[in-house]
Amino acid sequence: MKICVFPGTFDPITLGHHDIIQRARPLFDKIIIGVGMNSSKKPMFSIEQRLEWINKVFEEDEFVTAESYTGLTIDFCKKHKATYILRGIRYVADFEYERAIADMNAMLDDDIETLFLTSSSKFASFSSTLVRDVYKHGGDVSPFVPKAVGLSTNA
């Protein structure tokens, strides 16, 4: 069974994340969305809220699940017998950063392979960080997040 972990903070999940997962879906038997708790980031939305949104977005797909975790992504993969890590790449800067993490993960466990999917061009220009900024300032974020997330404006 090909099990993949798609790690991230998903604060909030965006259409870009959704697109990566949908495009990767045929490649794996199961995708686990690992909502990591990154000590260097201060999330806007609670871990419970983010998991609720992700589960709602993928409620029709029994082969996509979500779970929170702390610690190393490699350890989370081992816990779930995942042999693949999925990462989305928007621009060259993303690749350089993600490549360094993939190299470190490979040194920790060379049986777990990192795969990169480039973002579809229509989703490459925004990130969760930008979506949060628009939301914080009362802007409409509905063009950037799945409908199931239910965010529009924070006005």
DSSP letter string over 39-92? TT---SS-HHHHHHHHHHHTTT-TTEEEEEE-S-HHHHHHHTT--EEEEEE-SH
Q: Sign of dihedral through CA atoms 139, 21, 40, 56? A: positive
Instruction: Choose, from 25, 56, 79, 90, the residue flagged as catalytic.
Output: 90
Cα dihedral: 21, 32, 3, 89 (round 10): 40
Residue carrying the six token digits 């509905």: 142
Q: Where are the domains of the chain?
A: 3-149
Strand segments (E) across 11-109: 30-36, 64-69, 84-89
Query: Three-state SS for 61?
Result: coil
Token pair, residue 111, equals 């049986």
Instruction: Choose, from 2, 41, 137, 147, the residue flagged as catalytic.
Output: 41
State the pLDDT at residue 37.
Answer: 83
State the pLDDT at residue 153.
Answer: 62
pLDDT digits (tens, 9 = 90+) for 65-75: 999 999 999 99
Give 81's strand partners.
Answer: none
Report the share of the chain in percent with pLDDT over 90: 78
Q: Compute the distance between CA of residue 155 and CA of residue 152 in angstroms, rounded to an integer.
A: 9
CATH of domain 3-149: 3.40.50.620
Instruction: Please tell me the pTM assigned to this model.
Output: 0.92
18 is catalytic: no
Amino acid (one-letter) located at 81: K
17 is catalytic: yes
